[in-house]
Structure 1
Amino acid sequence: MDLDEFKQQAIRIHDLYDKLNRHERGRVWARTDFVLGFMGDVGELAKLIMAEEGTRQIPGGKAALEHELSDCLWSVLILAHLYNVDLESVFPRTMTELEEKISARLTEGGESA
């Protein structure tokens, strides 16, 4: 799967959640709800990473970590969709900018990138 296929699948799941939320709660999530959900997922991810590093005990092991990483990716894809951010174009540009900034700092410090 490529990023576009991930995005399309994420949007299909988003649409299913909209139907479920309308059915169960009478409303869909607002964009801010997705941000809050993402923050919760990141918190869970942090706990699972701590468990992987041996500083917490949480059941689920690697399967739980894989699930939470997927949840976080889904949230990022949906937030990009909701805010009309084209990750396929901005991600490579952002990574290039970061690479250039880091390399420049390493060169200033006497190390070669």
Structure 2
Amino acid sequence: MELSEMQALARRVRSKYAAMETARYGREWTDEEIMLGFLGDVGDLAKLVQGKAGVRPRDDLDEALAHELADCLWCVFTLADSYGVDLEAAFTSTMAELDGILAAEDTTT
């Protein structure tokens, strides 16, 4: 799946969540509330990473880790969409910048 397809899928899922939130709470979650949910997902991810390191083991560790990584990615897509960030362009330029910094630091060549 291409990044643009992933973004479109994340947008569709967000739209369904927004409808559910409106029905349940009378309004959609704010960007701040989505960010707080993301922080919770990152905390869950941290526990699963501990599980991979032998701490906090569980039977479904690999599946749970994959699920939580996907949840976190969905939050990143959703926040980027909300703030008008072109993730593909931002990722490409950020990686190029970091690659340049690391290349300048490389003393092995």
Is the shorter-chain TM-score for this pair beyond 0.5, marking a shared fold? yes
- 1:85 CA displacement: 0.3
Match of 1:32 in 2: 32
- 1:18 CA displacement: 0.4
**TM-score normalized by the length of structure 1:** 0.92
3-state SS of 1:5 partner: helix
Confirm or deny that 1:42 pairs with 2:39: no
- Pairing 1:1-113 to 2, within 5 Å after superposition: 1-106=1-106, 110-112=107-109
5+ residue gaps, structure 1, are: none
- Structure 2: how far apart are the matches of 1:59 and 1:34? 29
Q: Counterpart amino acid of 1:3? A: L
Q: Counterpart amino acid of 1:22? A: T
Alignment CA distance shift 1:32-1:59 (3 Å): farther
Alignment CA distance shift 1:92-1:68 (3 Å): same
Identity rate, percent = 41
3-state SS of 2:29 partner: coil
Task: String of CA shifts for 1:28-66, please: whole Å, max 9, x gaps.
Answer: 100111111111111100100100110223452111001
3-state SS of 1:77 partner: helix
How many residue pairs match? The answer is 109
Give every structure 1 segment of 4 or more consecutive aligned residues whose post-TM-superposition deviation is greater than 3 Å: none
CA RMSD between the two structures: 1.0
Farther-moved stretch of structure 1 (59-68 vs 2-11): 59-68
Q: Counterpart amino acid of 2:16? A: L
